[in-house]
Amino acid sequence: QQQLEESGGGLVQPGGSLRLSCAASGFTFTKFAMSWYRQAPGKDRELVALISASGETIKYGEAVKGRFTIARDNANNAVYLQMNSLNTDDSAIYYCRADWAYTIWGQGTQVTVSS
């Protein structure tokens, strides 16, 4: 079964940090570009960060540039999102996504930034 399982979400104060993890299973991880998306209540799902299959190409959404870092570990079939300087606008459900000839989505993990 092809799966993506996110973890690491939670409640954090403004200015704080979180590290999200996404564990992949059931498919050839190294063929897939990996990305993080997020969706806040009442808003469209938006791209947060993307990393190519080789890791050579990385892109960030404008709202997170300079604060978030995406990385992948092909040996362990995982992708990570380090989130620093969090603010309330970063509160959302964060989804992991894999893209190749088809797309796989994870179930999401909630991130809440609040004092």
For position 38, what pLDDT does the model report? 98
> What are the mean pLDDT values of the chain's consecutive 10-residue runs (115 residues total)?
97 98 97 98 97 97 98 97 98 98 97 97
Residue 52: per-residue pLDDT: 98
Which residue type is seen at 77? N
Across the chain, mean pLDDT equals 97
Q: Write phi, then psi, for 53 (nearest 5 degrees).
A: -60, -40
DSSP letters spanning 74-101: TTTTEEEEEE-S--GGG-EEEEEEEESS
pLDDT of residue 69: 98
